[in-house]
Structure 1
Amino acid sequence: MQFFLLLLFYGLEAVLLELPAHGSNTKYLYESLNMQLPEKVIDFSVNINPLGAPKVLKEKWDDWFFTINDYPDPYASPLMKQLTEQENIPISHLLVGNGAAEIITLIARYLAGSKVAVIHPAFSEYAIACNNENCEVVQIVLSEPGWNLDVVKLETKLQEVEAIFLCNPNNPTGIRYEQEVIKSFIDACKRTHTLCIIDEAFYDFVPEPVTFIKKVLYQEHVLIIRSLTKMYSIAGLRLGFLAGNPTLLQKIGKTKPHWSVNALAMRAGIACLQDKSHPVKTRKFIKTERTTIFQKLKQLGFEHSISQLNFYLLRDPGLSTQKRLFHYLLERGFVLRHTENFPGIEGKWLRVAIKQPEANKKLLEALAAWKQEK
């Protein structure tokens, strides 16, 4: 056992490839490391809303039961109507899908065989989906700890690709790029005739949310990906949408299966969007907890990304990689998100979700114990 763990945590890449590619896979994570699952586990690897889903979902759930008897609306019309009212853009500029993951897959199919760039660190599904469609994926890795986006330097690379993915606000760092930077990025993509794909899955967690969704009304080369999974804590229902030029959306949606959005997800999505207080309450809670956590981490001697979201990157500056800390916390039932499959930060950081105060406190206590025992 000890020999296995030494191999795993000090550079056996073949084993690292077996680690779950996403958060919220606690059972599989422990199995992949040949570790016993503790009786009590707190999962900090999944970055959904710590306040949970809006109360209205539980209140209305029984009333929606009848919808499972028939096929759902193939065009998701009621949900589309709610989205167009909220975003103030025509229905023709929207495409609803079974979570952002399906949307990313549809985009990758449209780009099949193309040369596509991904700005890293970023959500792993962009590259995975494009690789599955025989795209040539170019990795553009930004430098830590600021991960600044230099559009002037980037423009040369844009001339070499047909499309580019940018996650803003960013997963896994939690940072948000300034509005002027994103506007410059979109303009640069237009000059180089590059399809500009911006993932805004976490935009509504930012204290003062900013979206670039209106760009699709007059910029044919812009696509905006959105998710309802994160803010409304409905990961099990799967719901997301894409905004873009109607002609482009028709091409992307050609391979979308019928009824990919189920009837319960539609009902829940409409109810979530109508609950205007939930995002406001969430942002207030996250900001308060994040401030407290960051102050304590600084006192303990840990480094963190300058996140504005409901998660952040964490590291012990005394370690070149965080494998030992990762393992130490796992043994005590604290599951953080490994970063082995995030190009540019492979294993040098751990991603941590912000949870309820008691859970956050327990993690900080474990980190304090690590510092004392190290």
Structure 2
Amino acid sequence: MNLPSHGSNPQYVYEALKLKQPDKIVDFSVNTNPLGPPDFLKDQWGALFELVTDYPDPLASELRSVIADKEGLNIDQVLSGNGAAELIFLVASLFHGKKALIVSPAFSEYEQALLSYGCEVEEYILEEKNGWQLDPPVLLKALKGKDLVVICNPNNPTGIMYDKNHILEVISYAKDQKTLVMIDEAFYDFAENSPTLAAELPNYQNLIILRSLTKMYAIAGVRLGYVLGNRDLIHKLEDRKPHWSVNSLAQQLGIRCLHEANHVRKTQQFIKAERERVQSSLHSLSYSVLKSNVNFFLVKDLHQHRTDQLYQFLLSKGIVTRHTRNFKGLEGSHLRMAVKTREENDRMLEQMKEWRGEC
């Protein structure tokens, strides 16, 4: 099956499988906040309209300043981008023709970006039997001779959060090897206490942290992300960044969203409770469900050969999950599901129950 390599845009999934799309669908392939954007967005939408008439600040100075203050950094340690995707490609551009290691399973965009710049890419593939956790001795061995290592934490697609000491061991070793470590924290704020390695930036010049603002604040259509790192690295990325790549609306939404601490706390509480409820229900239906720390999780029918059939069955019922065919280490063995609203989750559980009855 030639399936899309990303979630969202479900019409392309139905088109690829030659299936008729139901009139009503729920897209569980999208990992944005099920509670939606903060309330201010609707309240202030009229005023925000005025931003479309003028060019944006090419340096996004106000947004970067707010991020820097929030993280206890200087403004020149922050760079915003047109979504995390632009920033991934910018980082990859620094490693043209060099060697990179990706800790997998992982977001396919890393490999795509690196290959587009002629990088030699290797994968360190985590194993399900080890709980998809890092094995530092093995990883350190794989790291030798690499110029860049990419780690997604919390991980997409597993939802697993790695042991902080294990990550620091990798970063410390990479520092001695003169290897840059990029930690993608796109989903860190969905986990309790929002675990991050940002406080370690003063200790490691070889560390860069990637963040997204579109997931937590449900503004994926706007496209906004940022990176945190040392000044020299940020300046190199800034020199390669297209002028005006972050539009005025995105900048102002980002500034306002970063002050929405209550929205984040409310989301974390909802996600934890609803994820545990849904996973418990799936367990009771004899599905294998991977324990997750964020707003999505992996699930599979214990009849593994029927995963494709389950995927298509759910599509026929208007439940769009994320296939895992292009995640190395998974190769389609699981489906990834986002945590949605209670009503939407119940609709999915109803269909999973129906499928179980047909097995």
With the length of structure 2 as denominator, give the TM-score of the two structures: 0.98
Q: 2:324 aligns with which of 305, 323, 339?
A: 339
Name the CA distance, whole Å, in 1 between partners of 2:144 and 2:238.
26
Name the CA distance, whole Å, in 2 between partners of 1:185 and 1:210.
17
Contact 1:93 1:217 in 2 (8 A): no
Return 5+ residue gaps in structure 1 as ranges: 1-15
Give CA-to-partner distance per residue, 1:93-136, whole Å, 9 cap, x none: 11111110000010011111111110001111000000111111
Q: What amino acid is aligned across from residue 359 of structure 1 in structure 2?
A: E
Q: 1:292 aligns with which of 250, 271, 277?
A: 277
- Residue 115 (structure 2) aligns with: 131
Name the CA distance, whole Å, in 1 between partners of 2:306 and 2:323.
11
Residues 1:21 and 2:32 aligned together: no
Give CA-to-partner distance per residue, 1:54-91, whole Å, 9 cap, x none: 01111111112222111111110111111111111111
3-state secondary structure, aligned to 2:158: coil
Q: 2:40 aligns with which of 48, 51, 56?
A: 56
Deviation at 1:192, TM superposition (A): 2.1
Contact 1:100 1:240 in 2 (8 A): yes
Q: What amino acid is aligned across from residue 195 of structure 1 in structure 2?
A: L
3-state secondary structure, aligned to 2:170: helix
Q: 1:365 aligns with which of 325, 346, 350?
A: 350
Contact 1:89 1:214 in 2 (8 A): no
- Residue 211 (structure 2) aligns with: 226
- Residue 200 (structure 2) aligns with: 215
Deviation at 1:208, TM superposition (A): 2.1
Q: Where in structure 2 are the equivalents of 1:84-95 lying within 5 Å?
A: 84-95=68-79
Deviation at 1:179, TM superposition (A): 1.6
Contact 1:200 1:211 in 2 (8 A): yes
- Residue 116 (structure 1) aligns with: 100
Q: 2:138 aligns with which of 142, 153, 157?
A: 153
Residues 1:190 and 2:165 aligned together: no
Q: What amino acid is aligned across from residue 30 of structure 1 in structure 2?
A: Y
3-state secondary structure, aligned to 2:162: coil
3-state secondary structure, aligned to 2:298: strand
Give CA-to-partner distance per residue, 1:24-58, whole Å, 9 cap, x none: 02101100111111111111000000001001111
Deviation at 1:215, TM superposition (A): 2.1
The CA RMSD over aligned residues, in Å, is 1.0
Deviation at 1:294, TM superposition (A): 1.3
Name the CA distance, whole Å, in 2 between partners of 1:320 and 1:180.
37
Give CA-to-partner distance per residue, 1:232-284, whole Å, 9 cap, x none: 01101111001111111111222210100000011101110011101100000
3-state secondary structure, aligned to 2:128: coil
Contact 2:324 2:330 in 1 (8 A): yes
Name the CA distance, whole Å, in 2 between partners of 1:246 and 1:52.
34
| % same residue | 44
Name the CA distance, whole Å, in 2 between partners of 1:306 and 1:224.
24
Q: How many residues get paired?
A: 358
Q: Which moved more, 1:175-184 or 1:339-348?
A: 175-184
Q: 1:142 aligns with which of 123, 126, 137?
A: 126
Q: What amino acid is aligned across from residue 162 of structure 1 in structure 2?
A: D
Name the CA distance, whole Å, in 2 between partners of 1:345 and 1:52.
30
Residues 1:38 and 2:22 aligned together: yes
Displaced runs of 4+ in structure 1, greater than 3 A? none
Residues 1:100 and 2:69 aligned together: no
Q: Where in structure 2 are the equivalents of 1:244-259 lying within 5 Å?
A: 244-259=229-244
With the length of structure 1 as denominator, give the TM-score of the two structures: 0.94
Name the CA distance, whole Å, in 2 between partners of 1:276 and 1:317.
40
Deviation at 1:321, TM superposition (A): 5.5
- Residue 69 (structure 1) aligns with: 53
